[in-house]
Amino acid sequence: MLETAVPASGGDGERLNPLRAGIESDRITDPCSIVLFGASGDLFKRMLLPAIWSLRMRGMLPNGFALIGFARTKYSDDEFREYCREQLEQFAPDGSKPRGELWDTFARCLGYITADFKQVAHFEQLRERLDENDKRAGTGGNRLFYLATPPSVFPGIIEMLHRADLDPHSNEHGWTRVVIEKPFGIDLESARALQKTVERVFSEHDVYRIDHYLGKEPVQDIMALRFANTIFEPIWNRNYIQSVQITSAESIGIEDRGNYYDHAGALRDMIQNHVLNLLALVAMEPPASSDADAIRNEKFKVFSAIARPHHEDVMKMSARGQYGPGSIDGEKVPGYRQEPDVAPQSNTETFAALRLGVDSWRWAGVPFYLRSGKRLAKKISEIAVTFKPIPHRLYGESTDAIEPNMLVVKIEPDEGVALRFEAKVPGPKSHIRSVSMDFNYGTGFGFHSPPAYERLLSDAMRGDQTLFTRWDAVELAWEIIMPVLDVWENTKDFSFPNYAAGDEGPDTALTLFADWRRL
């Protein structure tokens, strides 16, 4: 086994684990003010606020720091502090609840502006507040604008930042960056329109487009696995690899996001961004350096090499599904069309699968199968690389199935890497069976990875764009999925709902590819 014998947590094992050395490196960010547009929303309370608080708890925020909420809901500064405390009571992980001196000093960094995003006066008020912070809180003129609002308001906010002299060109004292949540547009055309607005105000090096999958530790490890080892890269090509399957399955439904989801669907929500970014990490060539643009250039090349599906081929290289009523963990759950804010005859897919090819010397002929869906049997994200079968059978009784080798990068809920290979079953016969070498972050390093948003926020504050998507790649990702979107939107699927909540997905996914790993 590759696993170290050190227990996952607690006790001497964790303290003495040599792999832990250096894990908590000093990554203190620049002094800055973060302005949170949409601070009364869901993303802020569930993800962003706990991430910022956790950075504070781990000593990774600078002394000169301020967080200003900017949203429609009416709060005074004190009410906003109280709101944040209540949310952290609920959403901060155990052991990091907002208490004591640490919380008191953090609370003093919080402020709020009740705002109408269409009123330039409110943005001017924000500018005054930021200037004041620079003087009083030592935030050094540095500003991070975080757009966590519904996407329809992104262009208006960017425009207002410009009109209120909050753009990078008007800031003589420090840096000005903008973090833009996904989705970046709802199709190619709207993404291009949004980009036009963005680039009127910000240069590409000031723009941080979020894809939170890139902040997940096992996702970052894909490059390390490939480029910090010699054993994988020589076989990482069409000569040895049969196929690649990338899965991002969820057991949750659409929760209370019907309004958004019914206009989005699985292809837009997950495949265009998260899943395609995973594909890029698997397929990219080794970058010349670890520089953000060196890496992002290679990802761009992967997307450039993916053949755009022809409209007439879409049905052959894709499968879609929508869940009906079913049960998850023994509990009955409604079908998609019965969810709140979903049209009763909705044609929106809650499951999407695609077969794509990367037309390059390395990958010619290797199919990449991608799938993602809601209300599937379980929550699991992984990449499975299947190697070619052995050329000649030497061992094994005639009834033994000799499985091809498979390398699985486990992203969620387990985090690690597993290698499946064949071994002889002990005994006088030459029976062969699949076994697995497993590496797990938890047990290996005695350390559970910080949530993606922590890493991404601190990178944005430090000016590291490596884990953020660049416009050219976002545009290509839209180009790749547009033909599928067009065909799906223009043809109603009369078989919907075609899988029950809690299943493996629709049967059509098996027609596309019979060897999906079971969820």
User: Which residues carry out catalysis?
Assistant: 274
- Residue whose pair of structure tokens reads 């990338």 in the numeric block: 246
Q: Which of 384, 437, 435 is nearest to 411 (CA)?
A: 384
Sketch the per residue contact string, 389 through 428, with ligand BG6: x for CB under 6 A, - otherwise: -----------------------x----------------
Binding flag, residue 382, ligand BG6 (CB under 6 A): no
Strand partners, 440: 416
CB of 271 to ligand BG6, least distance (A): 11
Cα–Cα distance for residue pair 102/122, rounded to 1 Å? 31
Q: Which of residues 169-228 bind ligand BG6 (CB under 6 A)?
A: 182
Give the residue, chosen from 250, 298, 339, 459, that forms a contact with ligand BG6 under the rule CB under 6 A. 250
Q: Give the pairing of strands 176-180 and 207-209.
A: parallel
Q: Which of residues 8-67 bind ligand BG6 (CB under 6 A)?
A: none
CB of 269 to ligand BG6, least distance (A): 5
Strand partners, 454: none
Binding flag, residue 269, ligand BG6 (CB under 6 A): yes
CB of 477 to ligand BG6, least distance (A): 14
Contact yes or no for 235/387 (Cβ under 8 A): yes
- C-beta closer to ligand BG6: residue 206 or 412: 412
Q: Which of 387, 310, 331, 371 is nearest to 505 (CA)?
A: 371
Q: Give the pairing of strands 65-71 and 110-114.
A: parallel
Size of interface with ligand BG6, in residues (CB under 6 A)? 5
Rounded to the nearest 10 degrees, the angle between the axes of helix 471-490 and helix 188-201 is 150
CB of 285 to ligand BG6, least distance (A): 27
Torsion over CA: 448, 451, 457, 460 (sign): positive
- C-beta closer to ligand BG6: residue 109 or 467: 467
Residue number with the smallest Cβ distance to ligand BG6: 269
Q: Which of residues 129-168 bind ligand BG6 (CB under 6 A)?
A: none
- C-beta closer to ligand BG6: residue 80 or 184: 184
Binding flag, residue 349, ligand BG6 (CB under 6 A): no
How many angstroms separate the Cα of 163 from the Cα of each of 42, 143, 159, 390? Answer: 28, 16, 6, 65
- C-beta closer to ligand BG6: residue 58 or 257: 257
**Residue 382: strand, helix, or coil:** strand
The burial class, CB within 10 Å (0-12 / 13-18 / 19+), for 180 is: buried
- C-beta closer to ligand BG6: residue 265 or 506: 265
CB of 47 to ligand BG6, least distance (A): 9
- C-beta closer to ligand BG6: residue 134 or 250: 250
CB of 250 to ligand BG6, least distance (A): 5
Token pair of 130 as six digits? 């930021």
Contact yes or no for 323/334 (Cβ under 8 A): no
Summarize as ranges the residues that interact with ligand BG6 (CB under 6 A).
182, 250, 269, 381, 412
